[in-house]
A and B are shown apart, each in its own frame.
Chain A
Amino acid sequence: MKWDISNMSEWTVEDFPHAAIIPESGNSDDYNVGGWRSERPYRDDEVCTHCMLCWIFCPDTAVVVKDEKVVDFDLAHCKGCGICANECPTNPKFGKSAIEMVPEGCELPGVK
């Protein structure tokens, strides 16, 4: 059963599991933990070969894949570490790699 924390703001001392222990796995799914990112990855779909290296290397499993294609970044969990951009190989056809790190809040197409 999923740990019900829906009314955590109402909890008192007695309600919290001791020592801030989280008694289930994977519940960061429920949280936006990407709030302190200063750069975000921007992927050019034309340049991307869907080699999946970014998906393999992302430490936050924030690369979203659908039908064996990279489709998006999960910005609620991406920390902006840039590992994906670093690992993304140069596509010789374009002379560049598909991922570029762009400052948070910039107005690039498809980034907002």
Chain B
Amino acid sequence: MANQKTIAETGNVLVAQAMRQCKPDVMAAYPITPQTTIVEEFAKYVAQGRCHTEYVTVESEHSAMSACVGASAAGARVMTATCSQGLALMWEELYIAAGMRLPIVMANANRALSAPINIHCDHSDAMGARDAGWIMLFAETAQEAYDNTIMSVRIAEHSDVLLPVMTCLDGFITTHSVDRADIFDDDTVAEFVGEYVPAYALLDTDNPSSHGNFSGLGGPYFEFKKQQRLAIDASMAVIKSVGAEFSELSGRPFDVVEGWGMEDAEVVIVVIGSSAGNVRHVARGLRAQGIKAGVLKIRVFRPFPAAEVAAALVGVKAIAVMDRSESFGAEGGPLYLEVRSALYDSSERLPVVDYIYGLGGSDVRLELIERVYSDLADIASGSMAPFGMTYLGTR
């Protein structure tokens, strides 16, 4: 285990610190609440000469991701950060970054999408980009946001992967709360992430290459998409091995799905992000009353750990998925659709229900989580029929 220092900082400062320690060559970013303090903090490090990064101030997120794409194709280690409307404005470049197989690392400070205008936390921004071809990690805490950022560099740049990684943390809840975290010294991180050696780089004039090409009329577009699919599938093993190596270094456990009380759980909540802490708190209380409550936290959403989710839920009696985003018109939120699909091949038919919660930063009070577990107990006992999807805590 490496030496670490315990500090108290906001999630955003910890992400900025992690980014600095990973020594990006280029950062191109546009500020947007609640991501702003990441890029502000990072700009300060550049101004102080604490990193060699070329900091590109751009006029929009569309330009930010465009600059990242260009810099990454040039052969640089590239990072950025955004959220909400900013991520939405990057939409076309998100697909381009993934399609060009550029290992860009981006922090996303999960925030609701307009309208109505709202600056608070939900996962609509990231979930809207879930099919863009990015690897997506979610942090529960500031510590996880710091850890995920460092791991992202290794995952993105791995030769079996070469895909961009979005590392998500909950807007305000995680980005702006001061939290306890253990951080490495700069050398440890530098050694862990290593140097980025691009396979093809525009600036490698001895080996000229052309990037972002037209695949031709009737050309092999389909084949390139399959390459992308193979790469993101292969990333699961890379995420696990990088995670294991990181765990060794940090002493903190890492898994693509992290269970609590799952050994003998009967009623389980599947959750992503900061709410996992509250859910665990409630589950712990229920355990004291003899209720076999469990929590399954999803830390990696893309690639979706379907096999791991299905394996973790074997023997459970009732499952609730908590979705902090909508997929309007679908059977439920994005996480619900994934979890239900993951369970389809299970030999047992498990009742799974979906709770849309916390949109636009709507409070996730403990009573609400208790209500979910109590519904699950009723579903498990047969006194309540599974109801599909519902909104949790609306007035």
Contact = CB atoms under 8 A, between A and B. Distances in A.
Contacts of B210: 21-22, 25
Contacts, number: 48
A19 B99 contact: yes
A23 B231 CA distance: 20
Contact of B208 (A11, A12, A13, A24): A24
A101 B99 CA distance: 39
A16 B208 contact: no
Contact of A13 (B209, B211, B215, B226): B226
Contact of B162 (A13, A18, A20, A22): A18
B224 interface: yes
A20 B224 contact: yes
B230 interface: yes
A16 B100 contact: no
Contact of B101 (A13, A18, A22, A23): A18
**B contact face: mostly helix, strand, loop, or mixed:** loop
A23 B207 contact: yes
Given A11-B220, A23-B200, A18 B209 contact: no
B213 interface: yes
Given A21-B200, A23-B200, A16 B211 contact: no
B223 interface: yes
Contacts of B212: 20
B209 to A, nearest CB: 5
Interface of A: 11-13, 16-25
A39 to B, nearest CB: 21
Task: Name, among B102, B162, B208, B214, the residue most crowded by chain A CB atoms within 10 Å (CB to CB).
Answer: B208
Nearest to A26: B208
- Which of A13, A19, A24, A25 counts the most chain B CB atoms within 10 A? A19
B362 interface: no
Contacts of B99: 19
A13 B207 contact: no
6 contacts: A13-B230, A19-B227, A20-B215, A21-B200, A23-B200, A25-B209
Given A18-B231, A19-B162, 6 more contacts: A13-B227, A13-B230, A18-B199, A19-B100, A21-B200, A23-B200
A20 B230 contact: no
Interface string B178-212: 00000000000000000000011000000111111
Nearest to B102: A19
A21 B224 contact: no
A79 B24 CA distance: 40
B227 to A, nearest CB: 6
Nearest to B215: A20
Contact of B227 (A18, A23, A24): A18
What are the nearest 7 A-B pairs in CB distance? A25-B208, A19-B101, A22-B210, A20-B213, A13-B223, A19-B100, A13-B226
Interface of B: 99-102, 162, 199-200, 207-215, 220, 223-224, 226-227, 230-231
A61 to B, nearest CB: 16
- Residue with the greatest number of chain A CB neighbours at <10 A, chosen from B99, B209, B212, B214: B209
Given A13-B226, A13-B230, A16-B227, A21 B211 contact: yes
Nearest to A20: B213
A77 to B, nearest CB: 15
Name the residue among B100, B210, B215 with the largest chain A CB count within 10 angstroms.
Answer: B210
Contact of A22 (B199, B209, B227): B209
A12 B224 CA distance: 10
A75 to B, nearest CB: 19
A24 B200 CA distance: 10
Nearest to B101: A19
B49 to A, nearest CB: 34
B224 A16 contact: yes
Contacts of B231: 18
B162 to A, nearest CB: 7
B207 A16 contact: no
Contacts of B211: 19, 21
B162 A16 contact: no
Contacts of B100: 19
Contacts of A12: 223
B213 A23 contact: no
A16 B214 CA distance: 13
A25 B215 CA distance: 17
A57 B210 CA distance: 23
Contacts of B215: 20
B213 A21 contact: yes
Contacts of A25: 208-210
A32 to B, nearest CB: 12
